[in-house]
Amino acid sequence: MTGGDMTGADDRAVERAARSTLHWTLRYTSGLDPVVAADRQEEILSDLHEQTAWATEAGIGERATARSIRARMLRGIPADLGWRRAQLSGREGIRLSLPRVDGLLLAAVAAIGVVQVAVGAFIAARQVRALLIGDISWVPIAAALTIALGAVALVATALLWHRRMRPWGAALLAVTGLLIFAQSVEALYYLSATALLVINGVPWLEPAAYAIGTGVAILCIAASAQWANPARRFPAAPGASALTGEESR
């Protein structure tokens, strides 16, 4: 398959994955020197062509190739951001090493897990208190769901300390993170008179909680892809290092 062949019905999955990668490239090169940005974008275009051509020669299906492209893009996000920072600071020779990226990701995802567990524990404590003092005599669905999500987050955080289970832990935290913050806001609507006043006075609070959850989920998914390392199942095409955030040599 050549670059011009990515228009058939069977190639749409690869085309969509390639467009996502190019869109991300345009985003993280925006605001840089036009020559540097153009060079980077051309490098990614060439890399995508080489990978799809190699995948066709190796007999890899379109969907598997598309998954590989997306996974490599997600794994490369931290290094891409490091490359952008190096360009902005003028320190072009500095790149984040893989161990350092993994360490930063682990610290960030672990912190996310701890926060989610704390949110679940807080809602559980408020629920027990409300029941004991007779504020309510039932458990709101949002409170039950928040407590359950916090329990799952506890298990997921524990999985982060086992290297082989780390991708699963990050994936679970992506799911719980997407929901737990908004659900905790809804739970507090029933469990706290002060929170009720705040929520009624700040109508954008719940959408903001969903936005935070979405950002958390994206970070955790990127970490999960980094640790799962699908490239071991789909070897990269020669010279295809740019998608992982590394510059070709």
* Number of domains comprising the chain: 2
Give the pLDDT of residue 196. 58
Query: Is the residue at 133 inside a domain?
Result: yes
Whether residues 104 and 223 fall in one domain: yes
Looking at residue 138, what DSSP letter applies? Answer: S
What's the domain range around 130? 98-228
| Residue 82 backbone phi and psi in degrees, to 5 | -65, -40
Rounded Cα–Cα distance for residues 19 and 163 (Å): 32
Task: For residues 152 and 107, state if they share a domain.
Answer: yes
The residue type found at 170 is: A
Q: What is the mean pLDDT of the chain?
A: 80
Regarding whether 77 and 145 lie in a shared domain, the answer is no
Residue 237: pLDDT over 70: no
Co-location of 113 and 159 in the same domain: yes
Q: Are 229 and 76 in contact (CB under 8 A)?
A: no
CB 113 within 8 A of CB 178: no
How confident is the model over 15-47, as pLDDT tens digits?
888 888 988 988 888 888 888 888 888 888 888
Shared domain for 143 and 224, answered yes or no, is yes
In a domain, residue 31? The reply is yes
What per-residue string of b and e applies to 37-64 under the rule 16 or more CB within 10 Å gives b?
Answer: beebeebbbebbbbbbebbbeeebebeb
Q: 143 and 187 in contact (C-beta within 8 Å)?
A: yes
Evaluate whether residue 89 is within a structural domain. Answer: yes
* Euclidean distance between the first and the last CA atom of the chain, given in angstroms as a whole number: 25
In a domain, 119, yes or no: yes
Query: Does any domain span residue 170?
Result: yes
Residue in 58, 60, 81 with CA at minimum distance from that of residue 17: 60
* pLDDT of 249 over the 80 cut: no
How much is the pLDDT for 158? 95
pLDDT surpassing 50 at residue 178: yes
In a domain, 109, yes or no: yes
Closest by CA to 189, choosing from 222, 219, 146, is 146
Residue 6: its pLDDT value, please? 43
Instruction: Supply angle C-alpha 239, 244, 249, rounded to 5.
Output: 40
Query: Are 64 and 135 found together in one domain?
Result: no
Q: Are residues 112 and 20 in the same domain?
A: no
Check whether residue 152 and residue 114 sit in a common domain: yes
Looking at the fold, whether 51 and 111 belong to one and the same domain comes out as: no
* In a shared domain, residues 222 and 210: yes
Residue 85, Cβ neighbours under 10 Å: how many? 13
> Among the listed ranges 4-18, 39-53, 74-88, 160-174, which one has the minimum average pLDDT value?
4-18
249 within some domain: no
Average pLDDT over residues 229-238: 44
Least confident span in 38-42, 77-81, 89-93, 150-154: 89-93
- Tokens linked to 135: 């504020």
Mean pLDDT value of segment 198-223: 82
Q: What is the pLDDT of residue 3?
A: 45
Q: Do 182 and 224 reside in the same domain of the chain?
A: yes
Kindly give, in sequence order, each residue whose CB lies less than 8 Å from that of residue 239, ignoring residues fewer than 6 positions away: 46, 47, 50, 248
Assess whether 48 and 17 both reside in one domain. Answer: yes
